[in-house]
A and B are shown apart, each in its own frame.
Chain A
Amino acid sequence: MNKERYKEITNEIVPKEDKLKNGITAFIVGGFVGLLGQIIVSVLEGNFDVTHKDATSIMIIILIFIASLCTALGFFDNLVSKAKAGLIVPITGFAHAMTSSMIDYKKEGLITGIGANAFKLTGSVILYGVVSAYIFGIIRYLFFGG
């Protein structure tokens, strides 16, 4: 079977995803995650004696903990397949990628399983974040004076 015919057939069989619905879902779910972050920061600042910087750190820790727990309990994948980018783009996606790659390789042992695969998905985020931040940082530092 040639490639074009194959493409035609798969295009017919593979269900069309509703882009508008996906977009709206991602917008609303992602928006609520952002809203939750702001609510946590406001509550911490208003009711407990913490600085703004500490409040944002605690907010990030809380979101990461919720995402890791939901991943470990096994229902975060279902949520991601429904909400798509709404849960992948926020920091919850980072925690989800980390925890799921650890838990998926748990049966292969502590070192060769969990240790070797912990950064399988999040490694690219950290790598490209650091490399780009370093390059942009050098440009900013050398040409714009810090």
Chain B
Amino acid sequence: MIFLYSFLFCGVVCLIGQIILDNTNLTPGHVTSLFVVVGAFLDSFGLYDKFIKWFGAGTLVPITSFGHSLIHGALKAAEDNGLLGLLAGMFSLTSVGIVAAIVFGFILTMIFKAKD
């Protein structure tokens, strides 16, 4: 069942993104930025954690989970170090994604040429 829930959750998030793209003048950059903020907002009240429990790893795939991981790492570090931890722990969970995107992007850019 967790597979179906993953499919549905990720599908619905993408559907919302597509509806915003089709009905407004916003670009994909606007939509992804908006979704990150929404993800961070949902996790500030622990709602996104419940989504992860209910819907499985499908919740970690959309860009909303990026905002969730940012605030989640920050709040975890804030438990130990207070306001300093809020700064120190911001990237503790998302660094996997960011570093992977930078490193793979750079290596592959070195190997391949741009298609025109």
* Contacts from A to B (Cβ < 8 Å): 17, 19, 22-23, 25-42, 56-57, 59-61, 63-65, 68-69, 71-74, 84-86, 88-91, 93-95, 97-99, 102-104, 106-107, 114, 118, 121-122, 124-126, 128-130, 132-134, 136-141, 146
7 pairs of A and B residues whose beta carbons are closest in the complex: A34-B10, A30-B14, A31-B11, A34-B58, A26-B18, A74-B115, A85-B17
From the candidates B3, B57, B78, B113, name the one contacting A137 in the complex (CB within 8 A): B78
The main secondary structure of chain B at its interface with chain A is helix
A60 and B96 CA atoms in complex are apart in Å by: 8
Apart from A32-B7, A71-B108, A136-B43, 9 more pairs, CB < 8 Å: A30-B17, A34-B57, A56-B60, A68-B101, A84-B21, A88-B32, A103-B112, A106-B114, A140-B44
Q: Tell me the nearest residue of chain B to A124, going by C-beta.
A: B33
* Distance of B49 from chain A, by nearest CB (Å): 13
* Distance of A19 from chain B, by nearest CB (Å): 5
CB-based A-B contact count at 8 angstroms:
251
Q: Is A72 in contact with B108, judged by CB distance below 8 angstroms? A: yes
- In the complex, which residues of chain A have a beta carbon less than 8 angstroms from the beta carbon of B6? 34-35, 37-38
Tally B residues with Cβ within 8 Å of A: 70
The main secondary structure of chain A at its interface with chain B is helix
A40 and B105 CA atoms in complex are apart in Å by: 22
Please name 11 pairs of A and B residues whose Cβ atoms are closer than 8 Å in the assembled complex, sorted by A: A27-B14, A29-B14, A30-B13, A59-B60, A61-B96, A68-B108, A74-B112, A85-B15, A94-B66, A98-B105, A146-B79
- In the complex, which residues of chain A have a beta carbon less than 8 angstroms from the beta carbon of B98? 126
Q: Is A114 in contact with B14, judged by CB distance below 8 angstroms? A: no
A88 and B28 CA atoms in complex are apart in Å by: 7
B25 close to chain A: CB less than 8 A: no
Most chain A Cβ neighbours within 10 Å, of B10, B36, B37, B65: B10
Most chain B Cβ neighbours within 10 Å, of A37, A73, A85: A85
Q: Is A98 in contact with B102, judged by CB distance below 8 angstroms? A: yes
A90 and B17 CA atoms in complex are apart in Å by: 10
Q: Is B83 in contact with A141, judged by CB distance below 8 angstroms? A: yes
Q: Is B63 in contact with A90, judged by CB distance below 8 angstroms? A: yes
A31 and B17 CA atoms in complex are apart in Å by: 13
- In the complex, which residues of chain A have a beta carbon less than 8 angstroms from the beta carbon of B36? 125, 128-129, 132
